[in-house]
Amino acid sequence: MTTHQPPTTPPASAVRVAVVTGGSRGIGRAVSLQLARDGFAVVVNYARDAAAAEKTVAEIAAAGGSAISVQADVADEHAVAALFDRAEEEFGGVDVVVNCAGRLALSPIADLDLAVLDAVHRTNIRGAFVVAQQAARRLRAGGSFVGFSTSVVGTRFPAYGAYAASKAAVESLTLILARELRGRDVTVNAVAPGPTATDLFLEGKTPEQIDQLAKTPPLERLGTPEDIAGVVAFLAGPAGRWVNGQVLRANGGMV
């Protein structure tokens, strides 16, 4: 049986390093940029869109930060292990892992193609587990793992059955992993955004549908990727060290 020894505590002078899966677009891109502004060296993971990842890396570099892009399918344990290897080789270790990678499919439960269900759960459940597994093995003391759920786990909108089910699994995983990392000085939390104005969210929706969703929260607007990135930065930073095993619903006041 393979055992995994906790990484050693980094020296005080060491740069803090963040791995952001799905870090090239949407919320993941905003998280990558925010953590870079906060002084992290950022490993921007992407699945397919190398150009978007390089654009994110270039923006970080232009602002004086440090970043690299690394391709990996989050559900492939060998690719994810190689992603973490690259982070350690390039920057010396890993202090924060943010698993933004995800897949969305909308359909009534009665009509959903089960091949689509498998694809959603491969990324959102298996992928979340694989990334969490590597984070548990690699994060240095003082580190943080931030996963992503969705506020639809609470609102239970029709057509979101497959997606909400996959993210409910992430919420269960969060507290379990926090408890398993007892004594490591590593926090584990999840963020559950509400409707957020990303390209993925806006695609295929009419202006009327978008307006209706924007009026759902009491604040009567859609969230922005930057809103969510600020929550992640809090959980990954010194102000969030006493928050552990929690799911933070960043949704403007929805259920």
Residue 2 has pLDDT above 70, yes or no: no
Choice among 46, 91, 145, 163 that is catalytic: 163
Q: What percent of the chain has pLDDT over 70?
A: 98
Residue 226 has pLDDT above 70, yes or no: yes
For residue 37, tell me if it sits in a domain: yes
Binned at pLDDT 50, 70 and 90, residue 3 comes out as low
For residue 211, tell me if it sits in a domain: no
Domain of 96: which CATH number? 3.40.50.720
Verdict on whether the full-model pTM lies above 0.85: yes
For residue 73, tell me if it sits in a domain: yes
| pLDDT at res. 166 | 98
- Is 163 assigned a catalytic role? yes
**Segment 58-113, tens digit of pLDDT:** 999 999 999 999 999 999 999 999 999 999 999 999 999 999 999 999 999 999 99
Residue 214 has pLDDT above 60, yes or no: yes
For residue 9, tell me if it sits in a domain: no
For residue 173, tell me if it sits in a domain: yes
| pLDDT at res. 49 | 96
| pLDDT at res. 251 | 96
**Segment 135-180, tens digit of pLDDT:** 999 999 999 999 999 999 999 999 999 999 999 999 999 999 999 9
For residue 45, tell me if it sits in a domain: yes
For residue 120, tell me if it sits in a domain: yes
Domain that holds residue 245: 17-196+227-250
Residue 13 has pLDDT above 60, yes or no: no
| pLDDT at res. 181 | 98
Distance CA 159, CA 120 (A): 14
Distance CA 66, CA 131 (A): 22
* Mean model confidence pLDDT for the chain: 95
For residue 134, tell me if it sits in a domain: yes
Total count of domains within the chain: 1
